[in-house]
Amino acid sequence: MLPHPLPAGERGKVGGNFKYRCLRFWIFFMPLFTTRAIVLHSFHYGESDKIVTFFTKDFGKLKGIAKGARRSKKRFQNALDLFSHLRLIFFDREGMGLVRAQGCDILNSFPRIREDLKKIVYGNYFLEMVNEMTGERETHPEAFDLLLSFLKNLEGMESQEEQVRMFEIRILSLLGYRPNLKKCPLCKRDREDLKETPAIFFSVERGTLLCGGCSKPADHLIPLSLGTARLIEGISEAELSKIHRFRFTPQALSESRELLPRFISYQLGKELKSLKALGTITTNPKGI
């Protein structure tokens, strides 16, 4: 309340100005940061704002509010759309739940992804994987580079299922979910020593290769060839710039399609929302 009386018509005006000055004072003392970011998710909030989930190079996943984003053409334009790679300017303060997006410059909006339904499905799957597999403010610069690299590849070439499988393999490895495909952990035999065994499998629950002699039906087993195991290991360990040199045989593609999404779903404790649309496309390569 004001310390002295004012005419009724002036009270709201002065009170509003006071609140505005307090807001400016509060923002003035908040640290300002700049980083590269990719938009993972966004939704409308109130009449003119947006809540946005950013995956940043320097700060990991951040959730922020963009005040007036649906009205302001100067500060945000279409920069807060899915897939957008941008230079983000934001305020942050310890204890804040949401950062406050102040502005951004679009570095790449990936328009060709938005024009192709199959690319949209693949791209949404990439974004959802990163969103679900990372915690807020956990820095993963290599995962940021991976996502950006695959969005650029998706933008510039015909979309292929192999790109999806490669992304799954790499993101699992970078975020600490990499499956063990080097040896059977029960009998301790290396993968290459299992050539003469009748079959080898992948256990979704254990996250590991199992030889036929050590496997049990309760392990949720998926048949796995040595060639597919070698391929997944190779993609996991190769430099990012070289992973697109790997080629999937029809058998490796089929086994990876069965193994990787199920393993990801098991690790997350749920199935990703974009998986159904992805499954429709990968089993029907001509489209939905």
Number of H helices, E strands in the chain: 8, 8
> Hey, what CATH topology would domain 155-283 get?
de novo design (two linked rop proteins) (1.20.1440)
Q: What are the residues whose beta carbons fall under 8 Å from the beta carbon of 56, sequence distance 6 or more?
A: 35, 36, 37, 38, 62, 88, 144
Q: For the domain 31-109, what is the CATH code?
A: 2.40.50.140
**pLDDT value of residue 6:** 35
Helix/strand/coil (H/E/C) assignment for every residue in the chain: CCCCCCCHHHHHHHHHHHHHHHHHHHHHCCCEEEEEEEEEEEEEECCCEEEEEEEECCCEEEEEEECCCCCCCCCCCCCCCCCCEEEEEEECCCCCCCEEEEEEEEEECCHHHHCCHHHHHHHHHHHHHHHHHCCECCCCHHHHHHHHHHHHHHHHCCCCHHHHHHHHHHHHHHCCCCCECCECCCCCCEHHHHCCCCCEEEECCCCEEEECCCCCHHHCEEEECHHHHHHHHHHHHCCHHHHHHCCCCHHHHHHHHHHHHHHHHHHHCCCCCCHHHHHHHHHCCCCC
Q: What is the pLDDT of residues 195-204, one digit of tens each?
A: 777 689 999 9
User: Residues 94, 104, 18, CA angle at the centre, nearest 5°?
Assistant: 55
**pLDDT value of residue 2:** 32
Query: Which spans in 134-249 are helix H?
Result: 141-156, 161-174, 226-237
Report the distance separating Cα 171 and Cα 169, nearest Å: 6
Enumerate the domain spans of the chain: 1-30, 31-109, 155-283
**pLDDT value of residue 1:** 34
Q: What is the pLDDT of residues 94-149, one digit of tens each?
A: 767 899 999 899 999 999 999 999 999 999 999 999 999 999 999 999 999 999 99
**pLDDT value of residue 286:** 53
> For the chain, first and last CA: distance in Å?
61
For residue 102, which amino acid is it? Q
The pTM of the full predicted model, rounded to 2 decimals, is 0.85
Specify the pairing of strand 99-108 against strand 60-66. parallel
φ and ψ of 115, to 5 deg? -90, -5
For the chain, list residues with pLDDT below 70.
Answer: 1-30, 72-74, 95, 159, 198, 218-219, 283-288
